[in-house]
Chain A
Amino acid sequence: MASVALKNLYKNFGQTTVVRNVNVEIDDGEFLVFVGPSGCGKTTTLRMVVGLEAISEGEIYIGNNLVNDLPPGDRDVAMVFQNYALYSHMTVSRNLGFALKARGVDEREIINRVQRVAKMLDLEEMLERKPRQLSGGQRQRVALGRAVVRSPKVFLMDEPLSNLDALLRLQTRKELIELTSELKSTVIYVTHDQVEAMTMGHRLAVMNKGEVVQLDTPEKVFNEPANRFVAEFIGSPPMNFLDVEVSEKSHKKTIRADSFELELPNSMSSFSDSKAIMGFRPHDIKLVSEGGLGGRVTVVETLGAEKLIYLKVGNNSLSILVPATEKISSGEHLHFEINKDHLHLFNRDDEKRILFPTES
Chain B
Amino acid sequence: MTKQDFRSRDARLGFLLILPAVILVILVVILPIISGIQISFTSQRVVGSEYELIGLKNYFELFEDKQFIASLGKSAIWVLANGFFQTLAALLIALLLNQPFRGQNFVRTWIILPWAVPAAVTAILWRWMFDASAGIVNTTIKSMDLVQKPVLFLANPDIAGVSLTFVNSWRYIPFLTIIFLASLASVPEEEYEAAQVDGASAWLQFKTITFPNLMPTLTVLGLVGTLWASNVFDIIWMMTRGGPGDATTTVPVLMYDMAFYGYNISKATAGAIIFLFLLIIFAFLFIFANRKQFVIASETFQDLSK
Contacts and interface: CB of A to CB of B under 8 A. Distances in A.
Tell me, yes or no, whether A and B come into direct contact in the complex with CB atoms closer than 8 A: yes
Interface of A: 13, 43-44, 47, 51-57, 68-69, 71-72
A69 B1 CA distance: 8
B306 A43 contact: yes
Given A13-B302, A47-B305, A56 B3 contact: yes
Interface class of chain A by DSSP:
loop
A281 to B, nearest CB: 33
Interface stretch (B4-12, B51-59, B177-185, B259-267): B4-12
B2 interface: yes
B306 A54 contact: no
Given A57-B1, A68-B1, A44 B6 contact: no
Interface of B: 1-9, 302, 305-306
Contacts of A54: 2-5, 8
22 contacts: A13-B302, A44-B305, A47-B305, A51-B5, A51-B6, A52-B5, A52-B305, A53-B5, A53-B6, A53-B305, A54-B2, A54-B3, A54-B4, A54-B8, A55-B2, A56-B3, A57-B1, A68-B1, A68-B2, A69-B4, A71-B6, A71-B9
A55 B9 CA distance: 13
A251 B2 CA distance: 58
A55 B6 CA distance: 11
Nearest to B6: A52
Contacts of A13: 302
B164 to A, nearest CB: 46
A47 B7 CA distance: 12
Contacts of A55: 1-2
Nearest to B300: A13
The 4 closest A-B pairs by CB, nearest first: A54-B5, A52-B6, A54-B3, A69-B2
B209 to A, nearest CB: 25
A163 B188 CA distance: 19
A187 B6 CA distance: 22
Given A54-B2, A55-B1, A56-B3, 17 more contacts: A43-B306, A47-B305, A52-B5, A52-B7, A52-B305, A53-B5, A53-B6, A53-B305, A54-B4, A54-B5, A54-B8, A55-B2, A57-B1, A68-B1, A68-B2, A71-B6, A71-B9
Contacts of B5: 51-54
Contacts, number: 29
Nearest to B2: A69
Contacts of A52: 5-7, 305
Contacts of B7: 52
A65 to B, nearest CB: 15
B73 to A, nearest CB: 50
Contacts of B306: 43
A71 B9 CA distance: 9
Nearest to A44: B305
Contacts of B6: 51-53, 71-72
A68 B4 CA distance: 9
Contacts of B4: 54, 69
Q: Interface centre among A53, A54, A71, A72, by most B CB within 10 Å?
A: A54
B41 to A, nearest CB: 49
Contacts of B302: 13
A163 to B, nearest CB: 15
Contacts of B305: 44, 47, 52-53
Contacts of A47: 305
Nearest to B8: A54
A13 B305 CA distance: 11
A56 B8 CA distance: 14
B18 to A, nearest CB: 22
A199 B9 CA distance: 38
A198 B187 CA distance: 39
A43 B302 CA distance: 13
Contacts of A72: 6
A166 B264 CA distance: 78
A52 B6 CA distance: 5
Residue from B2, B302, B306 having most chain A Cβ neighbours under 10 A? B306
A52 B5 CA distance: 6
A69 B2 CA distance: 7
B251 to A, nearest CB: 47
Contacts of B1: 55, 57, 68
B5 to A, nearest CB: 3
B151 to A, nearest CB: 56
A329 B65 CA distance: 94
A69 B9 CA distance: 11
B1 to A, nearest CB: 7
B11 to A, nearest CB: 13
Nearest to B3: A54
A316 to B, nearest CB: 35
Nearest to B4: A54
A55 B305 CA distance: 14
Contacts of A69: 2, 4
A56 B6 CA distance: 14
A51 B9 CA distance: 11
A70 B9 CA distance: 11
A53 B7 CA distance: 8
B234 to A, nearest CB: 40
A162 to B, nearest CB: 13
A82 to B, nearest CB: 10
Q: Which of B2, B6, B302 counts the most A-chain CB atoms under 10 A from its CB?
A: B6
A57 to B, nearest CB: 7
A221 to B, nearest CB: 26
A229 B6 CA distance: 33
A314 B6 CA distance: 55
A57 B3 CA distance: 9
Contacts of A51: 5-6
B173 to A, nearest CB: 35
A71 B2 CA distance: 11
A53 B5 CA distance: 5
A5 B288 CA distance: 50
A242 B280 CA distance: 68
A72 B6 CA distance: 7
